[in-house]
Amino acid sequence: MITIDFRRIAVIVHDTFMVMLAWLLAIMVRVGFQMESLDANAWQIIPLILAAQAPVFWYYGLYRSMWRFASLPDLTNIAKSSIIGTLAITAILFLFNRLNFIPRTALILYPLFLGFLLGTPRLLYRLWKEHSLRYVLDSRSPKRTLIIGAGRAGEMLVRDILHDGEYLLVGLVDDNPKLHGANIHGVPILHGGIERLAALVRKSNIQRLIIAMPSASDAQMQRIVEYCEQTQVPFLTLPKLSESPKTSISELHKVSLDDLLGREKVKLDLGIIEDRLKGKCVLISGGGGSIGAELCRQIASLKPEKLIILERSEFNLYQIEQSLQKVSPETPLHIYLGDVGDAVRVKQILSIHQPDVIFHAAAYKHVPLLQHQIRETVKNNILGTQTFAQLAIQYQVKSFVLISTDKAVNPTNIMGASKRIAELFCQALNERSKTRFITVRFGNVLDSAGSVVPLFRSQIANGGPVTVTHPEITRYFMTIPEACQLILQAGAMGYGGEIFVLDMGSPIKIRYLAEQLIRLSGKIPDQDIQIVYTGLRAGEKLHEELFHAEEEQMSRTRHSKIMLASSRSADWNYLIEHLNLLKEATEQHDEQVIRPLLKSLVPEFCEEM
C-alpha cells in the first residue's frame, strides 16, 4: 500500500512558492517595484530557477526536516542551500543566455530574500507550537537524529519522540529494502541500508544516532556499532529485551560492552529452582567474589530460610553484607570469615545451620599468578574442596554444587588442573554418599574481579597502552547475572554426578574487547590509545575449550543453554592415595613433588610455558 506524505508535499509546495517569490522580489527591487518594468525573461526563466534550486534543497534535507523542531541547524541548512542554489542558478543562466537581461543585483538579493522567506515561516510555526523563543535559539535545541531500525521498537520510539520533542527526527534506516521510501508517523524510512549510514549522516547533517533494535543478536549489534563508529556521531541504544521490556526515550543509554556482548534473555524454570531453594538453608562459599556475590543476591530474592556466606576476604564479606542489607533486608543472613579448608571452622558453621544446599564458589582463579603459587593453589582449590565436600556429607547436606571452569578442560595451567581434580573428587564422592554432587562448568564472565575488562578500563583511564597477550587470543564470555542464573538452574536440575556445561555462545577475540572499550571511551584504537601485544603468559591458552574429547557426546537437557557432558570416572583408591600425597607435599612445602602428582591425576595436563 502506497502512503502519501501530505506533510512533505506541503513543504515542497511552500518552498517552491518561496523560490519564485524570492526571485521576483529580487528583480522588483532592482526595477523599483514597477510591475510594468518586469522583463518577460524574469517570468520565463523561473522554471530554470526551480530546476536549479530544488536539488539543492533536497541535498540539504529541507524537505525532510520537521517545522515543529526548527532550530539553528535548520537555519544553517537554509543559508547553505540559498547560497549554493544561487551559484547553481548563476551557472545555469550563464549557459542559457550568458546572463543577458539578468540584473546582477538580483543575484545578490535573491539568496537573502530566499533565506528569509524559508526560515521565517519555520521559526514562526515552531514558536506557535512551543510558545517560546528559547527552544529555537538554545544551543541545546533538539539534535538532528536518525533511528536505526524500523521495526516495532523503532515505531514505538518514533511515536514517543514526536510526542516528547527532545530529538529532531530526520528519518529511519533499515536493512529491509521493502521499507525504503515508506514513513512511520510521517518520519521517512530513508533509501539505503545500514551500510550506507555514514553517507546518510553526512547528507542529512545528522547529529545523533539511536539504535532501536533491542532484539538484535551479538553479531548484528557489533555490525551496527561498527557502522555507527564510522560516522563519528554520538549514538545511543535501547536496552536489550532481556534487560527491559520498555521502548521509550527514558530507556536510551550509551552503548556499553554488555550491549555488544549481551546475550539472549535466560528463561528459567523458576518452579524447580524455588522447589530446591525457597524456604531452604543455603550456604555459599566464596560469597564475596564476583560469582559468589551475585549468587547471594539472586538466592536472597528466592526467599530462602536463611543465607549463610563463608568468605576469607574481610573486605569482600563486608561489601556483600552491605549490599544484601539494602536489596534484601528481610533475608536472614549469617556471615562468616573463614577458609573452606579450615575443618574446625567449617564444622562449626555446618553444625549450627545444617544447610540444605551448598554452592562452592570459593577458589583461586588468576591463571598467570597461580603458575608460581602451586602450593597455595592445591591447598585451596583441591584440598579445600576435599575438606569442604567431605564435611558436607558428614552433616547431611542434600546438594553440593561445585562451580568449575572451562580451564579444567585439557588444562595447560595449575589453576585448570586444580579445578579438574576438584571435579573428579566431587564426582567420585557422589557415588559414595547421599549428598548430590553437581558440577557446573563455564568460561569467563564480564567484569569479574581480576578479569581483563577492569584491567583494560584502568589502562584506558591512564592513557594507555592497553596490553593484549596475543592478537588472535579468544575467550568465551557471559555476563555475571546470566552465569549465576544458569548455575541455579543447573543446580536445581541435577540428580548428582553430572557435569553441566553452560552454553557460552561464540568465543570473542580479546583484541575486539580492547578495541571496543577504547571506542566506547570516546577514543580511537592505535591512535589515541595504543594496543600493545605482550605475548602469551605462562599457562595461557590461545583458545579455551568447553569439553574434553571424551566428553564430546553431549546430552541435551530440559534447558536450551545447559548441556550435560559425558562424565569420566576416576579410580577412588588411586584418587585418595594421590590426594593424601598432595596433602603431605603441601604440608612439607615440596612443590617439586606437587607438580608430577597433578599430572598423574590429570593425564591430559600439559603446561604451556
Indicate if the pLDDT at residue 317 is higher than 90. yes
DSSP E strand boundaries for 361-450 = 399-405, 436-442, 444-445
Residue 213 shares a structural domain with residue 254: yes
Three-state SS for 3?
coil
Residue 160 shares a structural domain with residue 89: no
Highest mean pLDDT among 203-207, 243-247, 387-391: 387-391
Residue 376 lies in a domain: yes
Q: Confidence class of residue 419 from pLDDT cuts 50, 70 and 90?
A: very high
According to DSSP, residue 45 is labeled: T
Residue 436 shares a structural domain with residue 580: yes
Arithmetic mean of pLDDT, 282-293: 93
pLDDT at residue 84, as a whole number = 85
Percentage with pLDDT > 90 across the chain:
26
Residue 388 lies in a domain: yes
pLDDT at residue 492, as a whole number = 87
pLDDT at residue 135, as a whole number = 44
Query: Picking from 23-32, 171-180, 303-312, 597-606, which range would have the lowest pLDDT averaged per residue?
Result: 23-32
DSSP E strand boundaries for 452-538 = 466-468, 474-475, 477-478, 499-502, 508-509, 531-533
Kindly report the average pLDDT of the chain as a whole number: 80
Residue 424 shares a structural domain with residue 498: yes
Residue 90 shares a structural domain with residue 192: no
The residue among 357, 362, 501, 383 whose CA lies nearest residue 436 is 357
pLDDT at residue 165, as a whole number = 63
Residue 201 shares a structural domain with residue 250: yes
Residue 316 lies in a domain: no
Range of the structural domain that residue 212 is part of: 144-261
Is 51 within 8 Å of 20 (Cβ atoms)? no
34 against 384, higher pLDDT: 384
Residue 387 lies in a domain: yes
Q: Confidence class of residue 242 from pLDDT cuts 50, 70 and 90?
A: very low
Residue 449 lies in a domain: no
Query: Picking from 400-404, 512-516, 549-553, which range would have the lowest pLDDT averaged per residue?
Result: 549-553
Residue 119 shares a structural domain with residue 157: no
Indicate if the pLDDT at residue 218 is higher than 90. no
Number of independent structural domains in the chain:
3
Q: Confidence class of residue 159 from pLDDT cuts 50, 70 and 90?
A: confident
Which entry of 379, 407, 419, 561 is annotated as an active-site residue? 407
CATH assignment of the domain containing 596: 3.40.50.720
Q: Confidence class of residue 86 from pLDDT cuts 50, 70 and 90?
A: confident
- Among the candidates 111, 137, 163, a domain finishes at 137
pLDDT at residue 233, as a whole number = 82
Indicate if the pLDDT at residue 31 is higher than 70. no
Compute the C-alpha angle 339/341/343, nearest 5°: 100
Is 320 within 8 Å of 295 (Cβ atoms)? no
Indicate if the pLDDT at residue 371 is higher than 70. yes
- Among the candidates 103, 137, 171, a domain finishes at 137
Residue 498 lies in a domain: yes
Highest mean pLDDT among 68-82, 246-260, 541-555: 68-82
Indicate if the pLDDT at residue 384 is higher than 60. yes
pLDDT at residue 66, as a whole number = 55
pLDDT at residue 584, as a whole number = 94
Q: Confidence class of residue 348 from pLDDT cuts 50, 70 and 90?
A: very high
Q: Confidence class of residue 576 from pLDDT cuts 50, 70 and 90?
A: very high
Residue 425 shares a structural domain with residue 554: yes
Query: Picking from 102-106, 184-188, 245-249, 328-332, which range would have the lowest pLDDT averaged per residue?
Result: 245-249
* 326, burial (CB in 10 Å: exposed 0-12, middle 13-18, buried 19+): exposed
Indicate if the pLDDT at residue 265 is higher than 80. no
Residues 6+ positions from 364 with CB-CB distance below 8 Å: 370, 373, 376, 377, 380, 381, 415, 418
pLDDT at residue 7, as a whole number = 65
Indicate if the pLDDT at residue 263 is higher than 70. no
pLDDT at residue 305, as a whole number = 93
pLDDT at residue 43, as a whole number = 66
Residue 490 lies in a domain: yes
**Counting runs of H as helices and runs of E as strands, what totals does the chain give?**
23, 22
pLDDT at residue 344, as a whole number = 96
Q: In whole angstroms, give the CA distance from residue 322 to residue 333.
A: 11
Residue 96 shares a structural domain with residue 63: yes
Residue 255 shares a structural domain with residue 399: no
pLDDT at residue 36, as a whole number = 55
Q: Confidence class of residue 255 from pLDDT cuts 50, 70 and 90?
A: low
Arithmetic mean of pLDDT, 537-563: 67
Indicate if the pLDDT at residue 320 is higher than 90. yes
Residue 177 shares a structural domain with residue 112: no
544 against 155, higher pLDDT: 155
Query: Picking from 97-106, 211-220, 290-299, 483-492, which range would have the lowest pLDDT averaged per residue?
Result: 97-106
Specify the pTM.
Answer: 0.65
pLDDT at residue 127, as a whole number = 64
Residue 487 shares a structural domain with residue 593: yes
Residue 83 lies in a domain: yes
First and final CA of the chain: distance in angstroms?
67
Q: In whole angstroms, give the CA distance from residue 210 to residue 289.
A: 36
Arithmetic mean of pLDDT, 397-426: 92
Arithmetic mean of pLDDT, 348-377: 93
Arithmetic mean of pLDDT, 226-231: 83
- Among the candidates 261, 290, 318, a domain finishes at 261
Indicate if the pLDDT at residue 315 is higher than 90. yes
DSSP labels, 238-269: PPPTTT----SGGG-EE--HHHHH--PPP---
According to DSSP, residue 320 is labeled: H
407 is catalytic: yes
